[in-house]
């Protein structure tokens, strides 16, 4: 009960903006309940007047019932509309909040968690929370409506009332057991569904690689196994519902027979007239449906509880830790930064990727990082952008520890161009405007020219309005990287990081990009990771990394003279 109260409070945080609609919704429900009590009384009176052959009275009562029913239909119309508005707005707010919180998660958490977890909770669980208000509205109103009929039966005959009450209690116990079992199965079903969603997401994104590897059979075997598990869990739920439905139907038929026997006895002993017995029998189904509505409400409350816990865990639980930033803001970043005795590993079980490294970079300096794969070059970039939390050592920007800086001071002043940039399924123009909403056409063209992309764009039928497909699939590898470079250039940040940004480019285009980078020198702090040493020979400073440590540093000419490993790398490249 304590957990439900907490979750209801959580849901109310999103629904409270609909106070006006909720007020009118409650008013409509209240009027529906009053009508539900009045209608059975008038219906019973029709049967009594019919048996007494008072046909004029029957007509009058029928007209009264018609007017009440018309009023009831109008109320139901407004109630449905109000429910839809409350659902829509609540659903929207929860999804937006959850999406925002997912973007705040630590990258380590994103690395270790299947995308299916977030897809299911954002699309499925949010709907179940928003649906609670409709459920409370509909099911609770139906319960109260039928309680009104229950009251009417109590006024007609107390013996029949107590028999029906006993039936309702027995059915409630059975339904509560069904809901408890179903909720347990539903929890397992959702976890399995997350695994399937995550795998399908990977299958779609990696579809082309799967085809190239001729691995369709292996992936289909894996997918088939996950789908079989999912459907087995779903079958458990359906089997539970079927088993308890059979029990409920058997009980309903038995109770029906018992009630008929009681009504016959009451008529025979002259404790009840036939007309009144018919009224009780006709409304018996409506009364016992209280249990059905109540069990539905109970089921949705438990469903809501489960969904709330799953969403709440992303919003506030330590299970999904958020990125932490400081509060200090740098109005203007110059571009100086320093690593002091930094040691880092992506998880506690691995050997450190970086081992006690220290170095300085001055504003408007161009510095390159060279070394074999796995030496820790990209990790330096990730830590500078605070994509991972540093545990040992200090990183400073303009002399300030990044742990005390706010998000804007770090991310708004650093642009990273990775070796595998993600291009969104939007137009070229919209991909560029993602990083700057008020981007002008002139700024866009200038950035694309610097990235050696403008000439290619102008050969496309729709030019800058061309949709590039998911992941930029309609572009070549080099074109994707040049678009990513243009996207970074429109930000005009003080620090620009090139992480193998020219790796997918041909020699001619690579020379053009190199010229673009040279054009940025002296105005920006530029850091470059490159396997092609020809792209970094003009750097102000080169750091040579080996096994997570800085083995040597200096200019290109200095390293050729004093570092054998660097010289070997450069000579091996010249031989290719």
Task: Say whether pLDDT at 205 is over 70.
Answer: no
247 dihedral zone (left: phi>0; alpha: psi -120 to 50; beta): alpha
pLDDT tier at 505, thresholds 50, 70, 90: low
What's residue 285's pLDDT?
67
Spatial distance between the Cα atoms of 97 and 174, rounded to a whole number of angstroms: 38
Dihedral through CA 225, CA 231, CA 235, CA 238, nearest 10? 170
pLDDT tier at 4, thresholds 50, 70, 90: low
Q: Which helix (H) or strand (E) holds 364?
A: none
Task: Say whether pLDDT at 213 is over 60.
Answer: no
For the chain, list the domains and their CATH numbers.
Answer: 2-315 (1.20.1560.10), 337-575 (3.40.50.300)
Burial of 97 (0-12, 13-18, 19+ CB in 10 A): middle
Report the candidate in 233, 126, 232 with the shortest Cα–Cα distance to residue 190. Answer: 233
The residue whose two tokens read 């303009």 is: 398
State mean pLDDT over 334-362. Answer: 85
Spatial distance between the Cα atoms of 518 and 557, rounded to a whole number of angstroms: 18
Burial of 331 (0-12, 13-18, 19+ CB in 10 A): exposed
State mean pLDDT over 52-74. Answer: 82
Alpha helix positions (H), 17-54: 19-51
What separation in angstroms does the CA of 57 have from each of 51, 54, 62?
Answer: 12, 6, 8
Q: Are 172 and 94 in contact (CB under 8 A)?
A: no
Spatial distance between the Cα atoms of 292 and 298, rounded to a whole number of angstroms: 10
What's residue 446's pLDDT?
84
- pTM, two decimals, is 0.66
Q: Are 189 and 237 in contact (CB under 8 A)?
A: yes
């Amino acid at each position: 009960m304590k957990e439900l109260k907490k979750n209801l409070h959580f849901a109310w945080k999103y629904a409270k903006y609909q106070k006006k609609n909720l007020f009118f919704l409650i008013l409509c429900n209240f009027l529906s309940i009053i009508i539900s009590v009045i209608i059975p009384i008038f219906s019973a009176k029709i049967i009594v007047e019919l048996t007494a052959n008072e046909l004029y009275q029957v007509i009058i009562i029928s007209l009264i019932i018609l007017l009440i029913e018309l009023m009831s239909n109008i109320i139901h119309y407004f109630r449905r509309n109000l429910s839809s508005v409350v659902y829509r707005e609540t659903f929207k707010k929860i999804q937006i909040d959850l999406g925002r919180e997912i973007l705040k998660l630590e990258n380590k958490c994103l690395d270790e968690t299947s995308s299916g977890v977030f897809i299911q909770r954002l699309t499925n669980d949010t709907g179940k929370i928003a649906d609670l208000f409709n459920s409370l509205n509909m099911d609770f109103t139906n319960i109260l409506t039928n309680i009104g009929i229950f009251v009417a039966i109590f006024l007609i005959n107390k013996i029949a009332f107590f028999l029906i009450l006993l039936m309702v209690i027995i059915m409630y116990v059975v339904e509560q057991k069904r809901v408890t079992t179903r909720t347990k199965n539903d929890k397992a079903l959702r976890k399995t569904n997350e695994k399937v969603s995550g795998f399908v997401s990977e299958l779609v994104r990696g579809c082309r690689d799967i085809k190239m590897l001729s691995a369709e059979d292996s992936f289909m075997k894996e997918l088939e196994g996950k789908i079989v598990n999912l459907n087995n869990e779903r079958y458990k739920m359906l089997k539970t519902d079927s088993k308890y439905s059979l029990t409920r139907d058997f009980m309903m038929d038995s109770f029906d027979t018992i009630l008929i026997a009681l009504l016959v006895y009451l008529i025979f002993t002259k404790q009840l007239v036939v007309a009144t017995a018919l009224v009780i029998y006709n409304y018996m189904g409506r009364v016992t449906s209280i249990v059905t509505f109540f069990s539905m409400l109970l089921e949705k409350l438990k469903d809501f509880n489960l969904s709330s816990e799953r969403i709440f865990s992303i919003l506030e639980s330590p299970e999904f830790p958020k990125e932490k930033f400081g509060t200090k803001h740098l109005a203007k970043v110059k571009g100086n930064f320093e690593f002091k005795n930094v040691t880092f590993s992506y998880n506690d079980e691995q050997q450190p990727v970086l081992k006690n490294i220290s170095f300085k970079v001055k504003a408007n300096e161009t510095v390159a990082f060279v070394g074999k794969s796995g030496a820790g070059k990209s990790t330096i970039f990730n830590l500078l952008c605070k994509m991972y939390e540093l545990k040992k050592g200090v990183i400073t920007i303009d002399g300030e520890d990044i742990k005390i800086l706010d998000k804007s001071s770090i991310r708004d002043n650093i642009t990273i161009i990775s070796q595998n940039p993600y291009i969104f399924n939007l137009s070229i123009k919209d991909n560029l405007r993602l990083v700057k909403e008020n981007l002008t056409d002139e700024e866009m063209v200038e950035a694309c020219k610097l990235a050696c992309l403008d000439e290619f764009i102008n050969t496309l039928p729709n030019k800058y309005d061309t949709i590039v497909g998911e992941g930029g699939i309609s572009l070549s590898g080099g074109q994707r990287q040049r678009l990513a470079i243009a996207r970074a250039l429109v930000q005009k940040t003080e620090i620009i990081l090139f992480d193998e940004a020219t790796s997918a480019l041909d020699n001619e285009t690579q020379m053009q990009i190199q010229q673009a980078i040279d054009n940025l020198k002296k105005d920006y702090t530029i850091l470059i990771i490159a396997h092609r040493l020809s792209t970094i020979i003009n750097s102000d400073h080169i750091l040579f990394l080996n096994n997570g440590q800085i083995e040597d540093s200096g200019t290109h000419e200095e390293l050729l003279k004093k570092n054998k490993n660097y010289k070997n790398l450069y000579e091996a490249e010249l031989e290719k």
